[in-house]
Amino acid sequence: MHLVIEMLRSSVLAATPVLLAGLGGTYTYYANVFNIAMEGMMLIGAFTAVAGSYLAGSWVVGTLAGMVGGVVAALVFAVFAVYLKTDEFVTGTAINMLALGGTTYALRQMFRVKGAFMSPMIRAIPRIRIPLIGALPGIGPVASGHPFLVYVTLALAIVIEWHMFRTRYGLRLRAAGEDPRAVDSVGVSSDRIRAQAILISGALCGLAGVYLSLGYVTLFAENMSNGRGWIALAVIILTRGRPLGLLTMSLVFGFFDGLGLSLQSTRIPPQFTQMVPYIATIVALYLYSREKKRVSAGQAGQAG
């Protein structure tokens, strides 16, 4: 029982960064921007969050700095990909490289360390105890006592579902992704919408970085996003960008991530348990493709 609760708790914690980045990616997904730069935006966000929190001694500044870091990376992406018409894949890859190289360089340049930077001066984001639920046995430890960003993320998933499908902005954004000329012809700039989508995704990926470096742990390590941005990209493909679908899928991935952590107490070598989320991603893609094939074959069979 204790183990189950521990696993559920860790899956919520591990799901949050993937979900946050994925929610950012929802915007670019619907705007039809191939946002391979999420990994880099996340990494930059994680670094600027630690730097902000350390220098100002405040988690609020750290959180804002993380978001600003993500947005600045997104701004570079938007300027190159949207306005200078550089290939999205190329720009995104270059930004990932810049993030990896830039944070490693800045780590040495600013903090004179290699590999990882930790310090008691870094203020983590506070954890929230939910009054009533927190006291419940079983549910309490799973639902309560997480960094507040976890709850913000859950709320965001619902808000973004609404924003994407019930508002003018969502209508235009999805239209711009499907046929930019249709949007341009009614006098709404599709370029501007795409740029906005990239900036929003930058802010949310930055927030995911904040969660990693000020919530999940309280330190910055080289390449600490460790592929979560790419897993988020895979999750977006799997759920076709639906925010509520993302919520479920991220929890599944969080579960596998948490599973890896829990298995570390067993005799399985830790390197194999650490592989679990990546293998899970491949398996999920496989199941998705099989399902897609089955559905289309079924339809063909019915009509034929």
Partner 1 sequence: MAQKVLLCVLFDILEVPSHLDDHFIEMRSLIKVYPPDTLALDRVDLTIKEGEIHSLIGENGAGKSTLMKVLYGMIPASSGEISFRGRRVRYASPREAVATGIGMVHQEFMLVPSYTIYENVILGAEPVGRLGALRNAEARRRVQSLIDRYGLNLNIDDRVCDTSVGAQQKVEILKLLYRDVDVLIMDEPTAVLTPQETGELFRRLRDLNAAGKTIIFISHKLDEVLELSDTITVMRRGRHVATWENRGLGKADLARAMVGRDVVFSVEKPPACCGDVVFEARDLSYVDAGGRRRLDGVSFTVRRGEIVGIAGVEGNGQFELVQLVTGLAPVQSGQVKICGRDVTRAPVIERRKLMCYVPQDRKASGSAQKMSLTDNSIMTHHRLNRRIESGWRALLNPAKCRRFAQNLVESFGVLAPNVDTPISSLSGGNQQKVVVGREFLFDADFVLLDQPTRGVDVGSVEFIQREIIRKRGSIEGATGDVGADATVTATATAAAGCLLISADLDELFNLADRILVMHRGRIVADLAPPDTTREEVGEYMLGAREPQPGPWGGAQAGEGACAR
Partner 2 sequence: MSKNAITALAGIVVALLAGLAILWAQGYPALPSYAALFSYSLFSKFAIVSTLNKATPLVLTGLSAAVGFGSNCVNLGQPGQFLIGAMAVAAFGIACDLPTPVMIPLAIMVALAAGALWAGIAAGLRRRFNMDEFITTLMLNFIADYFTLYLISGPMWDRTTYSPMTKMTNPGSWLPMWDGLSAAFVVSCVAFVITWVIWDRSKLGYEWRVMGQNSAFARVGGCRNEANFTRAMLLSGALAGLAGGLMIMGGMQHRFVKGMGANYAWDGVMIAIVAANGMVPTGLYALFFAAIQTGAMGMELETAVPSEFALVLQAIIVLFVVASRESTRLLINRWAAKLRARAAAGGAQDIGKGEGGERRASGH
269 binds, among partner 2, partner 1, none (CB under 5 to 8 A by kind): partner 2
Strand partners, 116: 221
What does the alpha-carbon distance between residue 42 and residue 74 come to, in Å, rounded to a whole number? 10
Q: How far is CA 225 from CA 32, 195, 212, 253, in A?
A: 24, 24, 8, 15
Residue 85 sits in the site that holds partner 1 (CB under 8 A): no
By CB under 8 A, how many residues form the interface with partner 2?
A: 43
Which run of H or E residues covers position 117? strand 116-117
Whether the CB-CB separation of 216 and 150 falls below 8 Å is answered with no
In this chain, which stretch among 15-23, 133-141, 283-291, 295-303 interacts with partner 2, using CB under 8 A?
283-291
Shorter beta-carbon distance to partner 2: residue 112 or 168:
112
Least distance to partner 2, CB of residue 292, Å: 8
**Identified binder of partner 1 from the candidate list 111, 169, 278, 288, rule CB under 8 A:** 169
Question: Using CB under 8 A, which of 188, 219, 237, 259 touches partner 1?
Answer: 188
Counting Cβ atoms within 10 Å, is residue 210 exposed (0-12), middle (13-18) or buried (19+)?
buried
Pick one of 172, 194, 228, 242: the residue that binds partner 1 (CB under 8 A).
172
Tokens of residue 280, six digits: 């899970």
* Dist CA 137 CA 203 (whole Å): 36
CA–CA distance, 3 with 78 (Å, rounded to integer): 45
Residue 189 sits in the site that holds partner 1 (CB under 8 A): yes
Bridge partners, 221 (sequence order): 116
Q: Using CB under 8 A, which of 1, 2, 3, 109 touches partner 2?
A: 109
Return the residues of window 215-254 that contact partner 2 according to CB under 8 A: 226-227, 230, 233-234, 237
Binding track, positions 149-168, relative to partner 1; x by CB under 8 A: -----------------xxx
Query: Which residue number, 87 or 178, has a Cβ lying nearer to partner 2?
Result: 87
Interhelix angle for 2-30 vs 148-166, to 10°?
Answer: 40
Give the C-alpha separation, 74 to 194, whole Å.
11
Pull the structure tokens for residue 51: 């730097």
Closest distance between partner 1 and the C-beta of residue 181, in Å?
A: 5
By CB under 8 A, name the binding residues for partner 2.
36, 76, 80, 84-87, 89-91, 93-95, 97-98, 100-102, 104-105, 108-109, 226-227, 230, 233-234, 237, 269, 271-272, 274-275, 278-279, 281-282, 285-286, 289-290, 292-293
